[in-house]
A and B are shown apart, each in its own frame.
Chain A
Amino acid sequence: MTGRRQHLELGDEASGRLRTVLSLTEVSLRTRSTFIVRDVSLHLRQTELIVVSGLNGSGKTSLLRLCAGVRTPRDGTRSCRAPIGYVPAGISPLPLTPSRWLQTFPRERLTDPRLLLEELGFQGKFDRPMRELSFGNRRKLLLAELFSSNADVLIVDEIAAGLDHAGISAVKRLVKRSQERGAAVLLADQETGIDWNETRSYWMESGSLAETAERPAIIQLVGPVQNLEAMRDSARELNFRVV
């Protein structure tokens, strides 16, 4: 469907022969003086869920744009064997209603995006211009479009941005369903502490990518706490991050 790429049959998971659908090999991206992404290798296979975390400006978005094929690497190679769906962190509103946009966006659908919007807790109006939607509802619209599509590689930047708790729970279910149908999913997430049940997770810093064996959990202390410092120390000993 997308360009010259063919949809892939799901590999034999039991024998571990899932196909690699997206590969970056020693990819770099830089301006004249600074590396934005430095020597990154990343291989995404069918049914996998990879989460890339990192601070603002660490290069997550640039990495995802490289994966989506919307930026060309300065060095290294990228190969992709499946149709890609990419959702950026935000979108400036188009001169269309949500209803018309979902009808006209040129992608084949596996399910009705309106059902997914309902599941995501979309509160906007379908027949009003997109500019009247809140940021969160606009994000839900983009996510419903993506997860209802037949793309085999789903790439989402700032996955939790603008979503409420119900929305995040729904996204988790949608990610799971996409994996079950054989799609590979790549997410970028801030330090939200949300457990996405990912296959692998990476930490990005200054353009470099490091695999994290276990994602550090984040504890958020809410309300009056007795002996706060002692709790902080205990949490740090257990390798938790306290916010």
Chain B
Amino acid sequence: MSFEIAKYYGRILLHSGRWGPGVVVFVLIALIPLGNPAESSDIASGLFFAFVVLGTILGRQIGSVDGSDHLDMVAALADGHRRLHRIRSATSWCLGALVALPTSAFAIVSSTTGPIATFGLAIVLSLTGLSVGATGATVLHPPVLRNNSLAVLLSIGYIIVLIVLPQVQDYLRTLENQVTQKPLLVLIACIGVWVLMTEFASRVASRSGFVS
């Protein structure tokens, strides 16, 4: 049933056309490293940010593609808002992951050096970016956002992220050709944070009693 609901939300998103702006922004960000042939590690770090954006937009759009009445209908089917929230968050991550593989492959093939050696790194960084974006987006669903204190915390969190981003970018550039270990650990940590945040948000969603 979870898979069927995920498929259903994927279809609503597809037909809503809401993926359009997200894809345009993603392509533009991804084109910056692709349009300027560079070291493959630079391209990989560029993809990280492109996938942060994609993860955020996909997660946010799936979370708000339907009104609260329809959300209730599907929540009854999914055994409550808590489970439905998990399904929707996972759907956005999986959709992003589907994009990660071909994009990483294309990006590395377009690079000037080390296409094979850094292919793994590009995928790992793309998925890491996707997890970071999905972590932010999982709390941007309307039933969760109704919690005012959470909305304040989120705003503070995003300001901190904006301040930290340049340092993150510098760090990613130093990861050159470290295909294993460090980046992989970062990916696992980011997926862990995403799962925890989704669980927290699903609890808030089930308690919010969201009504439009």
Contact = CB atoms under 8 A, between A and B. Distances in A.
Q: Do A and B come from one complex?
A: yes
A137 to B, nearest CB: 16
B8 A2 contact: no
A171 interface: no
Nearest to B18: A95
Given A2-B1, A2-B79, A88 B17 contact: no
B15 A88 contact: no
A3 B3 CA distance: 11
Interface in B76-114: 76-81, 83
Interface string A48-63: 0000000000000010
Contacts of A68: 72, 75-76
Name A's interface SS. loop
Contact of A96 (B4, B12, B206): B12
A92 B70 contact: yes
Given A84-B76, A100-B15, A106 B81 contact: no
A86 B67 CA distance: 15
Contact of B69 (A71, A92, A105): A92
B73 interface: yes
Given A72-B80, A106-B8, A95 B15 contact: yes
B116 to A, nearest CB: 41
A199 to B, nearest CB: 22
Given A4-B79, A95-B17, A105-B8, A70 B72 contact: yes
Interface in A139-185: 142, 155
- The size class of the interface chain B forms with chain A is 20 to 34
A222 interface: no
Interface in B1-32: 1, 4-5, 7-8, 11-12, 15-17
- The size class of the interface chain A forms with chain B is 20 to 34
A89 B212 CA distance: 12
Contacts of A106: 1, 4-5, 7-8, 77
Contacts of B157: none
Contacts of A90: 69
A153 B70 CA distance: 18
Given A69-B75, A87-B73, 9 more contacts: A1-B1, A68-B72, A68-B75, A69-B76, A70-B75, A86-B77, A95-B15, A105-B8, A106-B77
